[in-house]
Amino acid sequence: MAKDLFADFPKPDFSHWKQRVEKDLRGKDFESLISESREGITIYPLYNHQDAEFSFQPFRNKLDWRIVQEILVMDAKAANAEALDHLNRGANSLLFYLAPQTDLSLLLKDVLIEHVHIHLITEGSDALLVAGQLNEIISQRGLNPEDIHGTINIDPLENLARTGNWFGSEEEDFSCLQQLKQALPQNMRCHCINANLFSHAGASLDQQLGVLLSMSYEYLYRLELKDAKGFWLNTAIGSDFFGEIAKMRALRRLWKQLLEEVGIPDTPAHIYAESSFRNKTIKDAYNNMIRSSAEAMAAIIGGGDEFSVKGFDQTFRAPSAFGERIAKNQQSVLQHESYLDKVQDMAKGSYFIEELSDQLAQKGWEFFKSIEKEGGYIEALKSGWLQQQIETTAHEEQMAFNEKTRVLIGANKYVNSNENLQEIIEYGHFHRPPKNETTVKPLSVKRLSEELEKE
C-alpha cells in the first residue's frame, strides 16, 4: 500500500494561508489587498476549495481553435490574393466584410472552402444573393454542402444598436433571416449575435453576457426557432485577463441555461472572439501587441472556438502587412510554442476562476432578466434604457482612465513625450456621432485614450 507522503504535515486551512500572507505583507492589512471589479464582484487575494462552487463547465468540442483573418473587400480580386496569402501564413478561418454585389466566385477563387471556415458579413437582403452565389460555387466544385462551415452574417439587432437603424425595416430584416436559414447549407450559420459591439462601447462583463443572451432570445422568439444550430456568438476580449477567462466560461454555462429555459435541445455554443478596440491606443502603439496577446490567451483559455487578433496599428492606419503578420503570429506562438491547444480546460479547478465564473454567470443572468423586464432587447433600445445602462458603465471606466486609476501604459502612464502623433497617423479611429436621423439612439463606440490623442 502506498505511503501517504503528506501524513506527517499539518493540513493548512484558510486561516493558515491568511497568516502567511499577512506575514509577507510586513505590517499591511490583509484587507488592503481586497478589491472590487467593475461588475461589483469582490476580488480577494486568496481563495481555497471552500470558495468555489465548481459548477458544470461546458467547453469547446476540440482542443484547438481557429485563427481568423479579417479582410475588408473593396476589390474581389485583390481580396482573394490577400486571403490566399494569409492562409499560407497561418490563418485557417477567413472573415470577409463584403462590399455590395461582390463577386463571390472571384473572391473565393482557389480557396479550399471545404477546409477553411468562411464568414461573410453583408447587409440586409444582399445576404440572400450571397447565399445563392455560395450554393452555386459548392455545386460547380462538386463539394458536399455538409463540409462547408462558417456564417453569412447579418445581424439586424447589432445594426440597430450600432447605427440606430434597421438595414431595411424591422419586418424586412426578420423576413430576410427567415429566408436565409432555408437557403444555406446546414453547417453555415446565419443567426449571428455580434455582442462584440457592447464590449467596444464600454459595457461591463456581466452586461455583455446579459445583452448577448437577450439578443439570442430575441431571435429565438421572433423567428420561432426550434433549435439553436444556426447560432454564432461573437464577443470581444478586453484587458481584464482573469475576468475575460471567466466571462467566456460563464457564457457557455448561460447559453446552456438559456436553451433549457426555452425548451430547445442542448446545442454547444460556438464562440467567435476578437481583440478589444476600446483599450487600444495610438500613443505608443506597440503596447497594443502586449494587450492583444493577453486577450488571445484569455479567449483561448476561456474556451473560444475562433479568435481574431486585430493588427496593433489599426487605430491609426489601414491594416498593414507587418501588423497583420504579427497578429497571426501571436496566435501561432500560443498554439505551437505555448501549447495552449494541448489541454482542454486549463482553468478548471482554479478556485479563483471557478468562483469568478459562477458570480459572472449569476450577474449576467440578472442583467438579462433586467433587459427582459424592459420588454426585451428591441424595446430596451427603443426606450433608451439599454443605451443608458451601457453609457453609465462606460463613463465610469472613462473617468477611471482620466484619473489614472485605469491604466493604459504609454497612454496615461509612462508616456513617451517625444512621440509626435501627427507624423504617424494616417487615419485616426475616433468616435464620430451619426449625422442622419436614427430610429433609436446608437451606442457610442469610443476608445479610452481618444481625448488624449485628439489633443
Q: What is the mean pLDDT of residues 13-37?
A: 87
pLDDT over 90 (residue 426)? no
Q: Tens digits of per-residue pLDDT, 360-405?
A: 999 999 999 999 999 999 999 999 999 999 999 999 999 999 999 9
Q: Tens digits of per-residue pLDDT, 122-154?
A: 988 899 999 999 999 999 999 999 999 999 999
Q: Provide the pLDDT for residue 152.
A: 97
- 47 pLDDT tier (thresholds 50, 70, 90): confident
Q: Tens digits of per-residue pLDDT, 194-226?
A: 999 999 999 999 999 999 999 999 999 999 999
Q: Provide the pLDDT for residue 2.
A: 64
The SS3 of residue 256 is helix
pLDDT over 60 (residue 332)? yes
pLDDT over 60 (residue 82)? yes
Place of cell 443572451: 213
Query: Which amino acid, one-letter code, is at 341?
Result: D
**Model pTM score:** 0.94
Distance, CA of 406 to CA of 14 (rounded, Å): 31
Sign of CA dihedral 220, 225, 194, 439: negative
**Those residues with Cβ within 8 angstroms of residue 161's Cβ, 6 or more apart along the chain or in another chain:** 197, 198, 381, 386, 387, 440, 442, 443
- Look over the chain and give the mean of its residue pLDDT values, rounded to a whole number: 93
What is 66-313+324-359's CATH number, 1.10.357.10, 3.40.50.880, 2.60.40.10, 3.20.20.240?
Answer: 3.20.20.240
Q: Tens digits of per-residue pLDDT, 244-288?
A: 999 999 999 999 999 999 999 999 999 999 999 999 999 999 999
Q: What is the mean pLDDT of residues 70-75?
A: 96
As a whole-number percent, the residues of the chain with pLDDT over 70 amount to 99
Extended strands (E) in 270-332: 271-275, 306-308
Measured CA distances, 267 to 9, 60, 217, 356 (Å): 47, 11, 14, 24
- 318 pLDDT tier (thresholds 50, 70, 90): confident
Distance, CA of 177 to CA of 153 (rounded, Å): 10
pLDDT over 60 (residue 311)? yes
Task: Yes or no: say if 51 and 77 are a contact pair by the CB < 8 Å rule.
Answer: no
The secondary structure element, H or E, covering residue 42 is strand 42-43
Distance, CA of 439 to CA of 91 (rounded, Å): 38
**Those residues with Cβ within 8 angstroms of residue 55's Cβ, 6 or more apart along the chain or in another chain:** 253, 354, 357, 358, 361
pLDDT over 80 (residue 60)? yes
